[in-house]
Each structure stands twice: as C-alpha cells, then as structure tokens.
Structure 1
Amino acid sequence: MEIRIIWPAGQLTAQLDDTPTSRALLDALPIESSANTWGEEVYFDTRLTPVLENSARQVVDPGTVAFWTDGDALALPYGPTPISRGDECRLASPCNVLGRVDGDPRVLATVRSGDPIRVEAT
C-alpha cells in the first residue's frame, strides 16, 4: 500500500504495512490538512480517530510513518524531537506504526508549520 504526501516545497511516497490504522487512513484519502512541526517531526490532523494498537511505539526510526492517536494526526519523524534522548526519534507518546517513507526522510525538513499538506493514494 503506497501513499503520496505533498507540500509546497516537495513530496514523498511511503509504503504502508497492512494494519487497521493504515486501512482506515487509505479509506479516508485524500486528506488535506495544515502541517505542524515539532523538532524534526512533521505532523498534521487527519480527522481520523483510530485506537492505539498493541504494536504502538514511542521511539521509532527516522522516516517512520506513525499515527498519533492522542492528536488524531499522522506523524512523520525524520530526526530528534524536543523530548528525544540523543539522536533518537521520540514521539510525544506511543503511536501506531504504519510504515516507512521511501528515500531520504530528511526531505521533510522543507515542510514549514502552516504549509498545506495533502495525502493521497498512488
């Protein structure tokens, strides 16, 4: 399952695993929102309200596609956040892991808070 995420300065694709949250996200596409940044993480509201899955994690690899159930948001970390220890990607709280971005996740550094952001199926 592949998605495309588009913002004014760039875009990327991501591969999603077959999880309940991934399926809910795909069913809701396309989604348009406004980007937020938190350290080296981009997140944005999806208006979806999935439950926290048993495999949820707070520390993930750069480029992980995660769903923050506390904020109904897709979370895309590409480096440390304000609560990281060292270089880890530590999310605000445990998140459902949906998949991984293709290529270098540091392209997300071009997203600015307030940028329009769109997620669509490929």
Structure 2
Amino acid sequence: MKTAAFLEFPAIGEKAEIELDGAQSPRTVKAIIGSLPLTMTIERWGDELYSEATPVKVAKENAKPEVCLFDVAYWPKGSALCFFYGPTPISKARGTIVPYSPVNIVGRIKSRPPDIQDFLRRVEEAHVAKRVPAILR
C-alpha cells in the first residue's frame, strides 16, 4: 500500500512530497493515514526533522536502528514522525544515519530541496524557533 502525502511548511512556502509505504510497517502506516491531516510542531536534530508527539500511538513494528537517506519513520518512544535529510548527531560512520532509538520505516521523502542545508536552516528559523506547525496531509 503506497499513499502520496505532503509535508507542508507554510512559514517558508515549501512542501515535501512524501510517499507513505506500508511494506515494512503496515499497521503504523495505516494509523498515520487514518490520522491525516496531522498538524505538528517540528524540531531539528542534526539533519533530521522530527515532530513532537502526534496522536498516532503504535508499538515497534519491524523497528530499525539505522535508516537510509530520505526515509520517513515513526518513532514509537515519542509517538513522533521523523524525516531523515541526513545524519543525526549520533551517526558515527560516514554514510550512516542513526535515529535516537529504533524507528518504524513508513515511507520516503520523494521531493528533495536543491540545497538541503539551506532548507533545514530555513525550517529551523521559521518553524522550529518560532514554533510554527507543519502539516502532513
């Protein structure tokens, strides 16, 4: 089951196309789709954007301790959605992306900004610092 969604950042006029895919975590994806649209405050941790707790409550489902670039995941410990634009502060080896703790893979970021660091900086300035919510629909 694949479903198209968009993560909108209204304060900077950007949106990321997301493909939700239940291949690895079907119960988690079903719960996310059933909760759309999700309005969420965004945080940044290294090159990961993640939401504060969402109303989606799902246990670990094939949870992974490492993810791929542009993966979208659900973090069961924090009921949060994670968007991996690059390594986190605990990613040690070059080319690896390590979440804080294992996550359920729920999809991929399909549209990518031409300059990821500029995009992350703008999201941090306009959404993280000012607590302006993003919307997944």
Fold shared by both chains (TM-score > 0.5): yes
CA distance in 2 between counterparts of 1:66 and 1:108 reads 20
1:116 deviates by 1.4
1:104 deviates by 2.0
Query: Are residue 64 (structure 1) and residue 71 (structure 2) matched?
Result: yes
Query: Are residue 17 (structure 1) and residue 17 (structure 2) matched?
Result: no
1:13 deviates by 1.0
Q: Describe the superposition over 1:47-98 as per-residue Cα deviations: whole angstroms up to 9, x where unpaired.
A: 2110100x21121111101000000000011111110013321100000000
Unmatched 5+ stretches in structure 2: none
Q: Describe the superposition over 1:93-122 as per-residue Cα deviations: whole angstroms up to 9, x where unpaired.
A: 0000001111326385232123311010xx
> Map of 1:51-90 to 2, 5 A cutoff?
51-53=59-61, 55-85=62-92, 86-90=94-98
Residue in structure 2 matched with residue 119 of structure 1 by the alignment: 136
Letter in 2 for 1:43: Y
Unmatched 5+ stretches in structure 1: none
**Structure 1 residues 25 and 68, CA gap change in structure 2 (3 angstroms):** same
Residue in structure 2 matched with residue 95 of structure 1 by the alignment: 103
Letter in 2 for 1:4: F
The percent of aligned pairs where both chains have the same amino acid is 29
Point out the structure with the larger helix share: 2
Deviates more, 1:22-31 or 1:55-64: 55-64
Give the structure with higher Rg (CA). 2
CA distance in 1 between counterparts of 2:119 and 2:60 reads 25
CA distance in 2 between counterparts of 1:103 and 1:58 reads 24
Q: Please state whether the residue corresponding to 1:57 is helix, strand or coil.
A: coil
TM-score by length of 1: 0.89
RMSD: 1.5
8 A contact 2:70–2:83 mirrored in 1: yes
CA distance in 2 between counterparts of 1:21 and 1:100 reads 14
Q: Describe the superposition over 1:17-71 as per-residue Cα deviations: whole angstroms up to 9, x where unpaired.
A: 1211111001001111111010100000212110100x21121111101000000
Task: Count residues in correspondence.
Answer: 119
8 A contact 2:16–2:112 mirrored in 1: no
TM-score by length of 2: 0.80
